[in-house]
Amino acid sequence: MSNAKNAAKAAFEPEKTLPADCDLGAEAFAHVGPDAERRDEIVRPSISYWRDAMRRLMQNKVAVACMVFLVVLVLFALIVPLVSPYTMSEQHLTHPNKPMFFRAEDGHLHVFGTDDLGRDLFMRLWLGTRTSLYIAVSVVVINLLIGVIYGALAGYFGGWIDNIMMRFIEIIIGIPYLIIVILLSMIMKSGVTSLIIAYAIVGWVGSARLTRGQVLSLRTQEFIIAAHALGSSPWRLITRHIVPNLLSVLIVNLTLAIPSAIFTEAFLSYIGMGVPLPHPSLGNLAQEGTLRFMFYPQQLLLPAVVISLTMLSFNMLGDGLRDALDPRLRT
């Protein structure tokens, strides 16, 4: 039966023949082994980890566009309030609630129009952006410093020290952030400082838990054991060997935590518990815009668009940094 199948198969397959002049003797074959001249050749240029990460980040067009947008945003927030002919609370009651690109009698152009008190919205928007970014970056940096130190100590020493420190973190997590803001507003004068302090009291626990988990995996590595055997102190091990190996994770966490801080500040200012008036922030600008949204929608849409684009840009940049700083994704 098998012979019949082979015969039928051979009938439908073309016969494979070699050319008449084809000589396949032993001399036609050669052993291909390692090339002694090229085996030590460097086929890829040797670059540092950070240069390679920057190269991969530049290949991510979305992350680069978001980074450029954030740089322009910061420059506008720093420069526009300084060069604007208007001040933060300067009122012009002769032209309130004017539309965009309104030119006043004095010849000055109100690019984004004016609010109900005749204040220039263009200057107030960028000043509010500066305030929101200042609060967000300050809070995140403080939380990162506290969280890294606390988490590194807990993860390095482990044992009962780690258990006690982690139970303390669980207690902090159980305290609602809004209650702390309300209590500090009653004790301290409402403003930027009380907002930063309130957020810093409870905001560092996320960085601490992230750092602790990374340290627990790093402290068993060979280079940590070797440094410990050579007599390095715990502080030197943490600051010189452990924390530098956490930089990529911490940088990504930093860029992803800033949008959360911006949204928190905007929310608190929107409900009247954040930056006090007349000092602008993106939150209280949006709150003022909601009162006149039906008649002057640009007063709400402008700060809302800035908040949305800023948070989106930080999130997309954080995703790009995460991919660029991961050595496992190196191509």
Q: What is the pLDDT of residues 163-188, one digit of tens each?
A: 998 898 888 888 777 777 777 767 77
pLDDT for 273-303, tens place per residue?
Answer: 778 777 888 888 888 888 888 888 888 899 9
pLDDT for 52-96, tens place per residue?
Answer: 778 888 888 998 999 999 999 999 999 988 888 877 777 777 778
More confident residue, 154 or 14: 154
Q: How far is CA 208 from the centre of its chain?
A: 17
pLDDT of residue 96: 81
CA dist 286 → 21, 37, 104, 129, 291 (Å): 86, 69, 24, 12, 9
Q: How far is CA 174 from the centre of its chain?
A: 26
> Homologous superfamily of 49-329 in CATH?
MetI-like (1.10.3720.10)
Q: Rounded CA gap, 10 and 145, in Å?
A: 76
pTM to 2 decimal places: 0.77
> Three-class SS of residue 88?
coil
Closest CA to 254 of 321, 154, 209: 321
Contacts of range 250-255, beta carbons closer than 8 Å, 24 or more positions apart: 250/144, 250/148, 250/207, 250/211, 251/321, 251/325, 252/318, 252/321, 252/322, 252/325, 253/144, 253/206, 253/207, 253/210, 254/140, 254/141, 254/144, 255/314, 255/317, 255/318, 255/321
* Residue 24: band (very low, low, confident or very high) from pLDDT cuts 50, 70, 90: low
